[in-house]
Amino acid sequence: MEHAPVAIQGLSYTFGNNQPPALDNLSAVIRPGAVTGLVGPDGAGKTTLIRLMAGLFLPGGGTLNIFGLDTRTETTRLHRIIGYMPQKFGLYEDLSVMQNLRLYADLQGVTGAARQQVFQRLLSFTGLAPFQNRLAGRLSGGMKQKLGLACALIRKPRLLLLDEPSVGVDPVSRRELWRMVQELVNEEMAVIWSTAYLDEAEQCDEVLLLNEGKLMFAGPPRELTQRVTGRCFQIRNIAGNRRRVLANALQREEVQDGIIQGANVRIVLRVDRSQPDLAALSAGPEARLVPVAPRFEDAFVDILGGGPGGISVLAASMSQIEDYGQITVEAQGLTKRFGDFTAAQDITFAIRRGEIFGLLGPNGAGKSTTFKMMCGLLRPSAGIGKVVGLDLQKAPGQARSRLGYMAQKFSLYGDLSARQNLEFFSGVYGLAGARQKEIVGRMIDIFNLTPHLKVAAKELPLGFKQRLALSCAVMHEPAVLFLDEPTSGVDPLTRREFWTHINGLVERGVTVMVTTHFMDEAEYCDRIGLIYRGQMIATGTPDELKGRTESDRLPDPTLEDAFIELLHQWDDKTREAA
Amino acid sequence: MFSRIRALIVKELLAILRDKKSRFVLIVPPLIQLFVFSFAATQEAKNQTLAVLNLDEGKPALTLEQNFAAAATFSKVLHLRGAAEVKPVIDEQQAIAVLWIPEDFSRNIEHGRPAEVGFILDGRKTNTAGIVQGYAQRIVNNYQASLAAGGQSTGAQLVVRNWFNPNLDFKWYTVPSLVCILTTLISLLVTSLSVAREREMGTFDQLLVSPLHPLEILVGKAVPALIIAMIEGTFMVLAAVFLMRVPLNGSLPLLYASMAVFLLAIIGVGLFISSLSMTQQQAILGAFVFMVPAIILSGFASPIENMPPWLQTITLGNPLRYFMTIVRGIFLKDIGAVLVWRQTWPMAIIAAVTLSTATWLFKKRME
Amino acid sequence: MKDQLRRMKALISKEFVQVMRDPSSLLIAFVLPMILLFLFGYGVSLDAKRLKIGVAVEDSGAEAASLASSFLASPYFEARISRDARVLEADLLAGRSRGIVVIANDFSRRLHSAGTAATIQVITDGSETNTANYVQNYAQGVVSTWTTIERMKQGNASQTGARLVPRIWFNPELESRDSLVPGAIAIIMAIIGTLLTALVVSREWERGTMEAMMATPVGIGEVIIGKLIPYFLLGMVAMLGSVAIAVFLFKVPFHGSLPALLLTSVAFLLAALGQGLLISTVAKNQFVAAQVAMVTGFLPAFLLSGFIFEIASMPLPIRVLTHIIPARYLVTNLQTLFLVGDVWPLLLPNVLILLGLAAVLFFITARKTAKRLR
């Protein structure tokens, strides 16, 4: 009998004696010729399972066979047939693209004439051919992931293991990665793609859904999606504040889950519940409830018991931000040159008070440069960045004391406890004495941090890490909040909670600027600025951007479609001009 | 402003001291090193093996040989049977020296003729050979004196008094020196890693977007390192006095005041290295490249006055040089404020230079 | 087999590229050795020459003056003459001089009266313990020479009695440079072998590149050898370069043979690399690895290897400890090769011990490393 690519039987794994099992009695079979998505909230055991399949961990109990090879005993043969791309891509940053490829080719035993062919194929496949001699450390995030994939593919593996390959990758590169993997799959091989992004999972042939080390679901994603059929709606034509509508909806007992999609609010109802009264949600007289097709994400949240509520205790505890005039954040002709290279050119925008503004753009397009200039991390070569009317260059201290900042991976001090982090960040923003004590105490109450106060921040569960990072960023009640890919790699439940808080803060008059690669997140924005090749090529609400790219070919574009389409249009335009 | 810096300082101290492992690394190994190395780092010559080739059977030769054998330096004596054994004994380092008493030694002594004794030393161990040679010279002189005393008088006699360290106990020298070296090591490592680690961890941007001024960040890095190094220094001084029994004759306030100035100079170097480094590896190796020459040029193992003038000029820029003089001076010589100040102001200048260079570089690298 | 060779070759060439690209590893492998050799070659020495002393001549007699001028003329001292001992004491306290010779006001009188000894007091700065010893020895020498000359002047003393004729083999002038430079080379090797190796391996764990490599067909032995050979070669290059500089630039004599040097270097580097690999296997983070390498590698090589401080003079437990410090054997062998020659009965056991240490270290490393993450 032909062996299955992966056959898991009663697999268990525990990290320490007193720890709950990371994987608990898991059984599954993965079939060849398919991309199997590995999904689940953070800490569900995705990485552990992948490392077990790669033979890097020994199963604690049960068996794990890869094409009939026992991962316990046949590691050497196993390593000849798998390709593995770890979360921290295993690239040598001080080696060039080509040197990385050669190294892995040698390690995988690809030699002779085949070798050059493989290189050519992989380089053109990944679009890295023009960058062969560039150091891997100098590649953009998307290119790094493609190179990592190329390295894992050198000797066509029979099982390809990808651990969150799309974190930190822009939509264009993400589509390309996905396309590459799709092209690879054939009856001989299987791919496992772990992800926190469920639009990716939805495209997989099969998914394994893990939660707390247990297998919740295995099968085609459609099968799971079916369970929410007829329960998904969009509230359209909202007059007034869609954020408030969402908050109200989420507070209702019959609503299980809800998110913002541009100008609309998407809700999922609980089983056998009637539709909510739109008037009670203060959605305005014109508002309509339109049934929409269910998505995998809806089903995912459903199977995990629903999303968080709509009221942000954090926002409730904050005072109303005083009015600094209409415009709180302003960029005037921001330009940054590194030598001959212009990373950002003449970027101008203004963000109104209480607005969420998204900066989008492919990796290396100038988005981060712009963002950094707006936080005062980079000095612009020309132009002015202003926060609450203060020039970041002329009054940096004053301006910075009015802004809050939260970066991807939450830059907390991992060795400090939760309380110590709170005390530190409040102190740095000039809070002291009784006031500091009071605010720190309030954050602890709001986020239920009490049981974790003495735990080092790096050991906190991800959800708490995020809450802690957010409270550190807003303790000084900033007028402006800068978020740099705040939920990168974070599961949908934690993401929802985060946006509930942000929405609440915006209601209090906080202005938010956010960079993101994920369109879910972009949908929360009031307006989006798209940065490409160092320039701001488009601004508008998410719906406007979608509208701008509507065509016969794309009758109902998603935000991601719009994003890619706008880049193409820009490229076409500049080509014509040239 | 003060509360912001205080928050930084508290955070930095916690980051270093909260973790049990790093607390351990900071306190225990330096104390063990102080203990082990202060016994190890001795420039005496003890437990040496002496080979004797006595070709003379007379009584004077035997007395001389016994005088050598009784010397504290030599714990073991090998008796050689012939001249052929001399070379291998030295070559193979079985003995540091060979005492060669020729067959006519006793006869010459008895007849009042000059009587030469050969003494062959292993020149590979320069320092030990030099010291053993001095001891041997003294033994022969004493022997000669005892012969002469049988007759009459005497001539000039040397009476030696060693101030500050009457018994020339080496520990009294090495322990204060090691206190300096180990304090340097800790403060340099802590500061040079401080910025580099935040860069690698990604928390640095978070600091930079806060209202903290770059100068405040630097102060926030320097003060905790100063505090930790001072505590470390206190541990060492306590160990030196109570564990190693080295007398502390001088003024403690002077010691602490000069220690603070010295540490600022070192912290400046550490922050400079840290601002320059992109990774922790670079910071560690950079600290190393500064530290090794600084120890060698401190006057610890090799006296500064023996160095060629150009090298002596270079040592003027080495803060460790001044601090060692101060620490040994305060411990053993009870030097007063004037003498301490004379060694302190150069360190103050060095500190001003290193700290301002570090600030300049730090600001520059923030772009 | 062929696969293994190719994989190892790939790993090795990768490592070289990395070394070449990281300024810090070049700094430690080439710049620091140059600085050290330069310092030991040109400047630093352990022995004390031209020590500053004060001579207090309280006596106005001719003999006192003659003895004082002997001190002035001595090549070992830089003497300052004064009538008042108190002035000189201030110098001693301030560290401007290392000793005081006091010729008391009754010196000439006592020298002439039979039956009494004319004492010369020597005060040393005991806080500089080693120097104090030298002051004492040199003063002794000056006084004996002076006595002999005085006696000869009076014509009553031919050279009688026992006289020591020291002969120092291998290094007649006791040039400490000649023994320090070989020692410095040993330190350099210890740094490259242990510290650098420990850092580069733990870096791979920290950056996650080890994880990716673990999932390829590469064997754990290949990974170890792939790390070993580049740093081994780097160490050999640094070693031979240092020896060349020592011999041709600093004119340190080299009496041994090249094969003996190579054998010693190979044996030592294997042990040092074994130590570095073991450290990085146990400590998978750079900070801890650096600390451990510092405490178990560099400092012992500096202080416990017999390079500067005599091992025989250390207390017994520490002497026992020095037996497991590879640098100890290298220092002995290098000093012998430089100054004596191929003394096989001394060199060979040391080489064998080094190989033994290396074998033990590799054995433990291999046992501790598995192709697994935990």
- Three-class DSSP labels, A469-491: HHHHHHCCCCCEEEEECCCCCCC
Which residues partner with B51 through β-bridges? B78, B98
Q: Using the structure block, give the residue that is written with the tokens 């708490």.
A: A464
Asked if C118 lies within 8 A of B155 by C-beta distance, the reply is: yes
B84 and B19, same structural domain?
no
Contacts across the A-C interface (CB distance below 8 Å) = 91
Instruction: Determine the 3-state secondary structure of A556 from DSSP.
Output: coil
Q: Which of C11, C208, C216 lies nearest to residue A79, judging by beta carbons? A: C216
In a domain, B155, yes or no: no
Work out the average pLDDT over C169-198.
82
Alpha-carbon span B246 to B237, nearest angstrom: 9
**Which of A:117-176 have CB within 8 Å of C?**
135, 151, 161
Percent of chain C scoring above 70 in pLDDT: 95
Tell me the domains of chain A and their CATH numbers: 34-55+74-209 (3.40.50.300), 226-311 (3.30.70), 317-402+478-570 (3.40.50.300)
Instruction: Determine the 3-state secondary structure of A385 from DSSP.
Output: strand
Q: Could you tell me how far CA C215 lies from the centroid of its own chain? A: 45
Please give the helix or strand (H or E) that residue A192 lies within, else none: strand A190-194
Indicate the number of domains in chain B.
2
Domain C51-154 matching CATH 3.40.1710.10: the answer reads yes
Which residues partner with B173 through β-bridges? none
Q: Chain C interface, mutation test: which of B23, B296, B330, most C Cβ atoms within 10 Å? A: B296
Q: Does C323 touch chain A (CB under 8 A)?
A: no
The Cβ of residue B289 has, within 10 Å, a number of other Cβ atoms equal to 17
pLDDT at C183 over 90: no
pLDDT of residue C260: 94
Instruction: Determine the 3-state secondary structure of A35 from DSSP.
Output: strand
Residue B125's alpha-carbon distances to A186, A576, C101, C141, C306, in angstroms, are: 73, 82, 29, 21, 9
B104's CB contacts (< 8 A; 6+ apart) are B56, B115
B254 and B179, same structural domain?
yes
**Residue from C180, C241, C187, C281 nearest B288 by CA:** C187
8 A C-beta contact, residue A325 and residue A350: no
Instruction: Considering only CA atoms, give the Rg of chain C.
Output: 28
Q: Does C9 touch chain A (CB under 8 A)?
A: yes
Asked if A108 lies within 8 A of C373 by C-beta distance, the reply is: no
pLDDT of residue C160: 60
DSSP output for A496-515: HHHHHHHHHHHHTT-EEEEE
Q: Which of A377, A379, A431 lies nearest to residue B209, judging by beta carbons? A: A377
Alpha-carbon span A79 to A521, nearest angstrom: 38
Asked if A107 lies within 8 A of C373 by C-beta distance, the reply is: no
pLDDT of residue B156: 67
Asked if C212 lies within 8 A of A86 by C-beta distance, the reply is: yes
List the single residue in B with minimal CA-CA distance to A415: B15
Each residue's pLDDT expressed in tens, for chain A with a length of 578 residues: 578 899 999 999 998 777 788 899 999 999 898 999 999 888 788 989 999 999 888 898 899 999 999 988 888 888 889 999 988 767 888 889 999 999 888 888 888 888 888 899 888 888 888 888 999 888 887 888 889 888 888 888 899 999 988 887 888 888 888 888 888 888 888 999 998 888 889 999 999 999 888 999 999 999 999 989 989 999 998 888 888 899 988 888 888 999 999 889 999 999 888 888 888 888 888 888 999 999 999 999 998 888 888 888 888 888 887 776 688 899 999 999 988 888 899 999 999 998 999 999 888 788 888 998 998 888 899 999 999 888 888 888 888 888 899 887 667 888 888 888 999 988 888 888 898 999 999 888 888 888 888 888 888 887 788 888 898 898 888 999 999 888 877 888 888 989 999 999 998 889 999 998 888 889 999 999 999 988 999 999 999 999 998 888 888 888 888 999 999 999 999 888 87
CA-based torsion, C103, C104, C108, C111: positive or negative: negative
Q: Could you tell me how far CA A567 lies from the centroid of its own chain? A: 21
pLDDT at C159 over 70: no
Instruction: Determine the 3-state secondary structure of B246 from DSSP.
Output: coil
pLDDT of residue A92: 87
Q: Map out the domains of chain C as residue ranges.
A: 2-44+174-368, 51-154
Asked if B202 lies within 8 A of A411 by C-beta distance, the reply is: yes
List the single residue in B with minimal CA-CA distance to C138: B134
List the single residue in A with minimal CA-CA distance to B13: A416
pLDDT of residue C156: 57
B262 and B302, same structural domain?
yes
Q: Tokens in use for A535?
A: 């320039």
pLDDT of residue A224: 92
B70 and B208, same structural domain?
no
In a domain, B52, yes or no: yes
8 A C-beta contact, residue C55 and residue C71: yes
Which of these three, B150, B178, B199, is where a domain ends? B150
List the single residue in B with minimal CA-CA distance to C51: B305
8 A C-beta contact, residue C328 and residue C305: yes
Alpha-carbon span B200 to B195, nearest angstrom: 9
The Cβ of residue C244 has, within 10 Å, a number of other Cβ atoms equal to 11
Contacts across the A-B interface (CB distance below 8 Å) = 91
Whichever domain contains B53, its CATH number is 3.40.1710.10
8 A C-beta contact, residue B340 and residue B308: no
Q: Does C178 touch chain B (CB under 8 A)?
A: yes
Asked if B211 lies within 8 A of A400 by C-beta distance, the reply is: yes
List the single residue in B with minimal CA-CA distance to A371: B209
B128's CB contacts (< 8 A; 6+ apart) are B45, B48, B96, B122, C310, C312, C313
A200's CB contacts (< 8 A; 6+ apart) are A37, A166, A174, A178, A193
Chain C residues with CB inside 8 Å of A92's CB? 14, 18, 209
B296 and B180, same structural domain?
yes
Q: Using the structure block, give the residue that is written with the tokens 């202080």.
A: C303
List the single residue in C with minimal CA-CA distance to A99: C14
B18 and B89, same structural domain?
no
Distance from CA of B291 to the nearest CA of A (A): 27
B132 and B9, same structural domain?
no
8 A C-beta contact, residue C268 and residue C187: no
* Angle C271-C272-C277 from CA coordinates, rounded to 5°: 100
Chain A residues with CB inside 8 Å of C372's CB? 55-58
* Angle B311-B317-B323 from CA coordinates, rounded to 5°: 110
Q: Tokens in use for A230?
A: 């007829």
The Cβ of residue B103 has, within 10 Å, a number of other Cβ atoms equal to 12
Q: Tokens in use for B280?
A: 């922790």
Asked if A90 lies within 8 A of C3 by C-beta distance, the reply is: no
Alpha-carbon span B259 to C211, nearest angstrom: 45
Instruction: Determine the 3-state secondary structure of C85 from DSSP.
Output: helix
Domain that holds residue B17: 2-41+166-365
Any idea of the CA torsion for A451, A457, A460, A465, to the nearest 10 degrees?
100
Residue B39's alpha-carbon distances to A531, B35, B42, B244, C315, in angstroms, are: 66, 7, 7, 10, 7
8 A C-beta contact, residue B363 and residue B214: yes
Q: Using the structure block, give the residue that is written with the tokens 């025989």.
A: C312
B233 and B97, same structural domain?
no
Chain A residues with CB inside 8 Å of B7's CB? 423-428
In this prediction, the residues of chain B whose per-residue pLDDT falls under 70 are 1, 21, 148-156, 366-367
The β-bridge relationship of strands A480-484 and A356-360 is: unpaired
3-state helix, strand, coil in chain C (%, to 5): 70, 10, 20
Work out the average pLDDT over C82-90.
86
pLDDT at C309 over 90: no
8 A C-beta contact, residue B331 and residue B174: no
Alpha-carbon span C198 to C26, nearest angstrom: 15
Asked if C217 lies within 8 A of A106 by C-beta distance, the reply is: no
